[in-house]
Amino acid sequence: MNKHTYTLGTRRGGSNSTSPFFVAYPRLGSFISKWVFAFPVIFMGLFFALPLALTFVWSVFERTMFWMKPAFTLFAYENFFTSARVDNFLASMGHSSISVLIAFIIGFPIAVFVRRRVPQVAQHRVILLFILPFAVSEIIRIFALRPFLQRNGLVNDVLLKIGVINEPITAILFTPTGVIIGEVMSFLPFIVFSGFLAMEAVPKYVFEICEDLGAGPIHVFIDVIMPLAAPGIFAGSLFIFVNGLGVALLPNILGGPGAVNAGLIATQAISALDFPLAMAVSAIMMATLLGLLYIGHRLFNLTRILTPLS
């Protein structure tokens, strides 16, 4: 290679220069540089923001025999709030809240342990292990829990052998308990990821100072780790909460007749060709999510999860 050949876009001495491509095709280069950053914004607007806005619009349309027609009616919302659907929605919110609590108790200590005890060179590799379950289809992962939770499953067999119970527990599979277990097992990595991301913004010297001052593990966890990692904890909890509300597979496979969440309500409405009702349920879910995001940002300033602690 000629010794006078330099890296594209770099002059001798390291200063930036115009790429030969843009010199040869100035108009095309100007077009690319103008739209390369605008394209993601346009894409998100067309395929994310616009469908969300249309969901609210379609929720006030009037139902027809096979579709819906433009109108302004709140019948879909009235149908939701004056039926057992609202009770099922509130019950699923309660189940999702329990799942969030259990996932936090299990998952966040894992994130703290990886950040504090695992060598830094291996931390990301360990966290990536939690992505492996997502390589398997969600329906397979959820369905695989049934042999463990059923009356003659592994859980009951182990509890019987160690003498914890005298007869198999029947209130696990096809109950809200089974749905909660499924939510925890399916969405646990979210709180591990977000918790680890929040902990990465905390320098290790903070923990060294705590040890030098003689602070115990419980005080360090409550007074130092929790406040600093609060944005990450909230983000992971919100992921679990919203997925618990919206994934219809969980109550279908692990829940009984009374296990219904918002996703299943919307699915049933679509099956009944009641599209405005399905849109209304989706709009209520989005309003719930936006409300929680607003509260979380006001309380914890969620932008701190990406800001290193100086």
At 169, which CATH number? Answer: 1.10.3720.10
Residue 10 lies in a domain: no
Residue 297 lies in a domain: yes
Residue 6 lies in a domain: no
Total domain count, the chain: 1
| pLDDT at 165 (0 to 100) | 84
If one counts every other C-beta atom within 10 angstroms of the C-beta of residue 15, the result is 7
| pLDDT at 75 (0 to 100) | 94
Residue 150 lies in a domain: yes
State the residue range of the domain holding 279. Answer: 78-306
Runs of H (alpha helix) within 118-203: 120-128, 138-143, 146-149, 154-161, 176-200
Contact 237, 183 (CB under 8 A): no
Contact 179, 262 (CB under 8 A): no
Instruction: Say whether 60 sits in a helix, a strand or coil.
Output: coil
In total, the chain counts a number of residues equal to: 310
| pLDDT at 18 (0 to 100) | 56
Residue 73 lies in a domain: no
Residue 72 lies in a domain: no
From residue 212, give the alpha-carbon distance in Å to each of 88, 114, 206: 51, 21, 10
| pLDDT at 107 (0 to 100) | 93
Cα separation, 193 vs 111, in Å, equals: 7
Residue 43 lies in a domain: no
| pLDDT at 104 (0 to 100) | 94
Residue 257 lies in a domain: yes
∠ CA 303-205-216, rounded to 5°: 100
Exposed (0-12), middle (13-18) or buried (19+): which is 169, by Cβ within 10 Å?
middle
Cα separation, 139 vs 78, in Å, equals: 33
* Tokens encoding 136: 């398997």
pLDDT along the chain (310 residues), means of 10: 44 51 63 76 90 93 92 94 93 94 94 88 89 85 88 86 85 87 92 88 82 84 86 90 91 82 92 94 93 88 62
The answer to pTM > 0.95 is no
